[in-house]
Amino acid sequence: MPEGHTIHRLAAEHQRMFGGRRVRATSPQGRFGEGARLLDGLVLREADAHGKHLLLGFGEDGERVLHVHLGIYGKYFFGEAPAPVGAVRLRLSGGAGYADLRGPNACEVLDRGEVKVLRDRLGADPLRADADPEVAWRRISRTRTSVAVLLMDQSVVAGPGNIYRAEVLFRQGVHPLVAGRALGRERWMGLWEDLRVLMAEGVRVGRIDTVRPEHTPEAMGRPPRVDEHGGEVYVYRRAGLPCLVCGTAVCADVLAGRNLFWCPACQPS
DNA sequence: CACCGATGGCAAT
DNA sequence: TTGCCCTCGGTGT
């Protein structure tokens, strides 16, 4: 679940549930007891997301900022009752219900200066209005690093994860191993615009759907199916299966420790 | 009940 | 490049 669209949804959910209200903060699991005490009884002033980072401003002037990064395991549970299962690192509760956080990579209270340091090392977030793809392009156009690695580098582009990476490269017909400096400005802008569209849709519906209407199983005369992760995708985790567009077997490899998927025919090198 | 994998990211090597 | 963080659900015994 946790790519950038998920975090933007979490920010909105916190705002809706706790915005402008005094909240109770506890750490049932105990590992965030000290941090929870710093937040307990304060008012949630602002909920923001930058890439995969959730930033919740508490207190009279929003000075105490809760920073949460879900990593690969982290998960939120929202409800009127506490989470039914789990080692809950942080529990926020208020009149509207509970927000239980499990297994985050980061859960800490920052001051304004520390938040600035964090934001300064994050690249352009396709879901943020203040994002500037030109800054990212300056980095991309100068490096031999592959576009697949660059799309996962949060200091270049903040928010996309392994699924959006695989899918946007497929949709734009770009081979994952094309070097940044060989990509070309037009293809970069194509990737960027597609990320904006796909991720905005991800925020709207709460899952990752990337298959164009003309390529859905129904349109292609095939039986309907649902991918394991809950959305409809072209290549992510479809190694060895036929490409939804051309039928060629989807390729898979590990690059920089992450699974990579692509169609060798639709994404020529 | 053990083991595995996962949509991240960091430090150490 | 490897290992570790940390959690849960799915799978196999």
Strand bridging mode A53-58 / A64-69: antiparallel
Residue A137 shares a structural domain with residue A255: yes
Residue A138 shares a structural domain with residue A114: no
In this structure, what DSSP letter does residue A95 have?
Answer: T
Question: What confidence tens digit (pLDDT) does each residue in A117-172 have?
Answer: 999 999 999 999 999 999 999 999 999 999 999 999 999 999 999 999 999 999 99
Annotation says A52 is catalytic: yes
Instruction: Tell me what pLDDT residue A169 has.
Output: 97
Residue A197 shares a structural domain with residue A253: yes
- CA at A32, C1' at C7: how many angstroms apart? 16
Q: Is the pLDDT confidence value at A23 over 60?
A: yes
- CA at A74, C1' at C7: how many angstroms apart? 7
Q: Is the pLDDT confidence value at A227 over 80?
A: no
CB A182 under 7 Å to nucleic chain C: no
Q: How far apart are CA A57 and CA A62, in angstroms?
A: 4
Q: How far apart are CA A139 and CA A10, in angstroms?
A: 29
Residue A233 shares a structural domain with residue A147: yes
- CA at A195, C1' at C13: how many angstroms apart? 44
Residue bearing the bigger pLDDT, A227 or A232:
A232
* Residue A125 resides in a domain: no
pLDDT band at A96 (very low <50, low <70, confident <90, very high): confident
pLDDT band at A261 (very low <50, low <70, confident <90, very high): very high
Mean pLDDT of A204-212: 92
Give the number of domains in chain A. 2
Instruction: Tell me what pLDDT residue A230 has.
Output: 59
Buried b vs exposed e over A182-214: b needs ≥16 C-beta within 10 Å? ebeeeebebbbebbbebbeebbeeeebbbbeee
Domain residues for the domain of A78 are: 4-120
Instruction: Tell me what pLDDT residue A226 has.
Output: 59
- CA at A208, C1' at C13: how many angstroms apart? 35
Instruction: Tell me what pLDDT residue A151 has.
Output: 96
Instruction: Tell me what pLDDT residue A1 has.
Output: 58
Mean pLDDT of A2-23: 96
Phi first, then psi, for residue A242 (nearest 5°) are -70, 135
pLDDT band at A107 (very low <50, low <70, confident <90, very high): very high
User: Are A147 and A170 within 8 A, CB to CB?
Assistant: no
CATH of the domain at A71: 3.20.190.10
Q: Is the pLDDT confidence value at A228 over 90?
A: no
Residue A250 shares a structural domain with residue A147: yes
* Residue A128 resides in a domain: no
User: Are A137 and A160 within 8 A, CB to CB?
Assistant: no
Chain A window 58-97: residues with CB closer than 7 Å to nucleic chain C are 71-73, 75, 85-87, 89
Annotation says A3 is catalytic: yes
Instruction: Tell me what pLDDT residue A225 has.
Output: 63
A30-35: long-range contacts at Cβ-Cβ below 8 A with a sequence spacing of 24 or more? A31/A89, A32/A89, A32/A90, A32/A107, A35/A66, A35/A90, A35/A107, A35/A108, A35/A109
pLDDT band at A62 (very low <50, low <70, confident <90, very high): confident
Instruction: Tell me what pLDDT residue A218 has.
Output: 79
Mean pLDDT of A107-117: 95
Residue bearing the bigger pLDDT, A221 or A144:
A144
Mean pLDDT of A79-91: 91
* Domain closes at, from A120, A146, A180: A120
Which nucleotide lies nearest residue A84, CA to C1'?
Answer: C8
| H-helix segments, A42-183 | 112-120, 133-140, 147-152, 162-171, 180-183
Length of chain A in terms of residues written = 269
* Domain closes at, from A70, A98, A120: A120
